[in-house]
Chains A and B, each alone.
Chain A
Amino acid sequence: MADTESEITLLVDGVRRSLAVDNRVTLLDALRDRLGVTSPKKGCDHGQCGACTVLLDGRRVTTCLTFAVACDGAEVTTSAGLATDGRLHPLHQAFLDHDGFQCGYCTPGQICSAAGLLDEAGAGWPSAVTADVRTAPALDEEEIRERMSGNLCRCGAYVNIVAAISEVAAKAEPAP
């Protein structure tokens, strides 16, 4: 194998996948073109649109600005992988219930980003709109909009996306 290629192993949606990649291949292209995992989408390919978002070792990231070789051994969860035993994830169902998309191209990235957002907020992380960063803010609509700003939707389904995430966030909060 040339110095410019590498053998890597990824755990993709619970399945161990080993492959040889040219070091130039991004995680996004490895998933889509080499492994046939087409849930994450290629939008801008420059980290600006969020369509390629997955959970990498549990955290939301853009896969277009990450080389696959740098992810050897990592766990990748796509939107498709958030479903368990054929049952939709609560975010999937909420996007359906609230019409959180039109064409659907950005949706897998939106779903993964929302899943990451809920974990981050659950851990008490503040955001740029949090009035006092010493506090752990409640996930109101302003907080959700700010935290989802890395995901663009060219159909403009933002209002319904926020409603969908708000519903899941409200259910995730412990009862008072």
Chain B
Amino acid sequence: MIPFDYRRADDVDSAVATVTGNPRAAFLGGGTNLVDHMKLGIAEPELLVDVTGLPLDRVEELPDGGLRIGTNVRNSDLAAHPLVRERYPVLAQAVLAGASGQLRNLATTGGNLLQRTRCVYFQDVTTPCNKRTPGEGCAALHGYTRYHAVLGASPHCVAVHPSDLAVALTALDAVVRVRRADGERTVRASALHRLPGAHAERDTVLEHGELITAVDLPPLRFAANSRYRKARDRASYAFALVSVAAALDVADGRVRDVRLALGGVAHKPWHATLAEHAMRGGPATVDAFQAAADAELAEAEPLPDNGFKLKLARNMIVSALRGLAGEDAP
């Protein structure tokens, strides 16, 4: 690790100005990913601007009935918040499905979204990785591919995004609030992360110096009927092989509305728009759920070791939706 300067941010604007003005500066949140990357030699900032003291640590009700989650709200506080648990159980479940009790006490909302892939080749600086060093090549492509993407990958990168929180936020169509040197902008959660294309080094659409200040959850009555399911190689404390965030609104046996997003399958949380479209207005039946899952996964391109993810994703989608429709759904 190279020596670095450390400053505590006094206010949002000066923190953004400081990092924007120094290409070797980085924001420090809970540190659970960045500190590890500094140890591993993946990240080498010369200045850390600690934003955890900024007053962005509250969950507030919005006038429209939604919630605003400050970027410094710790993962554990987010999952424990009564309004989150009541109105958006998929979000509380997603957060609780990730990391460990100790890490959730440290990790922040913004930091969770900006965590980087756990692709072992990305984390091992002795192997080539386009995400670490653009143009270097991808060791994962012809390596052990069990954990890698089946949707939206490119010849440059097959890594998946590790966040559970981001999958739930994508399903809920949350809005990410971003401060930049010349003002504020908003980005839909589903558009925050990007597919790798020819620029695997860019995980998100954010530019250097832009700071996530909050995440807004829109009012969504049927989100009270929502669920997060996660399959992994051990019962707890592991990243997803496949995860599913779903919310379902059923009336008279028909799907009035539905939200669906997948984790563990792509370089970004995968908003399953094809499946949503296939289900809306149709019957809330297992056959319809299966057809919707098949529509979503039709374009998948599995790698030699991860073809199982397709069947797993299909089964988990159907299982999650059936649970939300009621176990007696036909």
Contact = CB atoms under 8 A, between A and B. Distances in A.
A65 B106 contact: yes
14 contacts: A4-B5, A24-B3, A46-B36, A59-B76, A59-B105, A60-B105, A65-B103, A65-B106, A116-B101, A116-B102, A120-B101, A133-B89, A134-B89, A147-B101
B6 A61 contact: no
Interface residues of B, number: 35
A62 B103 contact: yes
Nearest to A72: B8
A134 B85 contact: yes
Interface stretch (A78-86, A121-129, A161-169): A121-129
A93 interface: no
B86 interface: yes
Interface in A89-146: 113, 116-117, 120, 123-128, 130, 132-134, 145-146
Nearest to B52: A70
Interface stretch (B14-22, B62-70, B91-99, B180-188): B91-99
B48 to A, nearest CB: 8
Given A4-B5, A125-B76, A133 B39 contact: no
B32 to A, nearest CB: 5
B237 A67 contact: no
A10 interface: no
B315 interface: no
Contact of B32 (A6, A23, A47): A47
A150 B101 CA distance: 7
A65 B35 CA distance: 6
A126 B96 contact: yes
Residue with the greatest number of chain A CB neighbours at <10 A, chosen from B36, B86, B97: B36
Contacts of A4: 3-5
B329 interface: no
A127 B93 CA distance: 8
Interface of A: 2-4, 6, 22-24, 26, 45-47, 50, 53, 56, 59-62, 65-67, 69-70, 113, 116-117, 120, 123-128, 130, 132-134, 145-151
A24 B38 CA distance: 9
A70 B31 contact: yes
Contacts of B86: 134
B32 A70 contact: no
A128 B76 CA distance: 12
B313 interface: no
Nearest to A147: B101
B42 to A, nearest CB: 12
Nearest to A24: B1
Contact of B28 (A70, A128, A151): A70
Contacts of A62: 32, 102-103, 106
A145 to B, nearest CB: 8
A113 B101 contact: yes
B79 A150 contact: no
A133 B100 contact: no
A117 B1 CA distance: 33
A150 B237 contact: yes
B78 to A, nearest CB: 11
B236 A146 contact: yes
A2 B97 CA distance: 42
Given A70-B31, A150-B103, 14 more contacts: A4-B4, A6-B6, A22-B3, A26-B35, A50-B100, A56-B105, A67-B28, A70-B6, A116-B102, A125-B79, A133-B93, A146-B236, A149-B235, A150-B99
Nearest to A112: B102
Contacts of A123: 80
A115 to B, nearest CB: 11
A149 B236 contact: yes
A99 B39 CA distance: 35
